[in-house]
Structure 1
């Protein structure tokens, strides 16, 4: 019988999640990358600078679809996700936009086994062409995301502000004590 363990890395933008995901991939773990940058780049090719700001629900619908697809990719073993399905409604809580019931339903139904939270780390935060949030917005988003997962009864594990290698070791030690 196949056994799947899903670990999601959450937190605001620019907190080091993707760096840790890439390090986990480099050492042979199954990883599913953040897909929002892909959605943003596709929209930019069509002349839409920031799809999330222009049409938040179109953006989120694409994210939800992609994250559900990623969730289904797991077949056996340990999988790490750079953000998860509950991030979708969390971002709408940040903007104050209505949250479609499907966002909540999928967040409840498709669950991760472990939830690792990356707190805002001012020293590493950087804006770029796909990350429109300034540091203050990133802080607010970070808190909302953490609360979203907690409201879904996840045990949220805080990842310390240490080197990438030490963050990887922290996560792996937690998963395999």
Structure 2
């Protein structure tokens, strides 16, 4: 059975760097939905942005994550966030979670262990897509970890360490197959 492994956490905690390193080493990965959606929506003057229409933004993230899930079929894959992250995102905002999103989180399952990158103030930076404050990043971390626990996952906290050390930790802890 392929391992579909999620790396989750708040913004600016090193998730994408870790997933990028795994990809560079030859592991199958799926990128984060949020950043790409923001870039696309800004390019087309769209409204599906977290600061303009969070519900529409969440719908696009769900669609992206469902596509990513299907694209990973049959092989070990590491995801930069997963479907359950969108549940946590909406809850953090105090918005209702639509029934179809709850159904998706229960239907499309990942490896029982998810890897949570804790807030890391020393590396946190704002950029064009990451407008959240460090406090919002911390609340996001708490919300997504709680959402994964509620959906029956075990959250493994990633150590704050150099990317090579994090990569080795995740490969071993997730039981990923060696890359050929």
Structure 2: distance between partners of 1:138 and 1:48: 24
Which residue number corresponds to residue 82 of structure 1?
80
SS at match of 1:116: strand
Structure 1: distance between partners of 2:81 and 2:33: 9
- Alpha carbon RMSD of aligned pairs, Å? 1.5
Which residue number corresponds to residue 137 of structure 1?
136
For structure 1, list consecutive stretches of 5 or more residues without a partner in the other structure.
none
Confirm or deny: 8 A CA contact 2:47 2:53 kept in the other structure: no
Flag as ranges the 4+ runs of structure 1 deviating above 2 A: 46-50
SS at match of 1:89: helix
Q: Which structure 2 residues correspond to residues 1-177 of structure 1 after superposition, within 5 A?
A: 3-48=1-46, 51-113=49-111, 114-176=113-175
TM-score normalised by the chain length of structure 1: 0.94
SS at match of 1:115: strand
Instruction: Please identify, of 88-97 and 8-17, the stretch whose mean Cα deviation from structure 2 is larger.
Output: 88-97
For structure 2, list consecutive stretches of 5 or more residues without a partner in the other structure.
none
How far residue 53 of structure 1 moved from its aligned partner, in angstroms, is 2.0
TM-score normalised by the chain length of structure 2: 0.92
SS at match of 2:116: strand
SS at match of 1:96: coil
Structure 2: distance between partners of 1:15 and 1:175: 19
Q: How many correspondences in the alignment?
A: 175
Structure 2: distance between partners of 1:41 and 1:176: 33
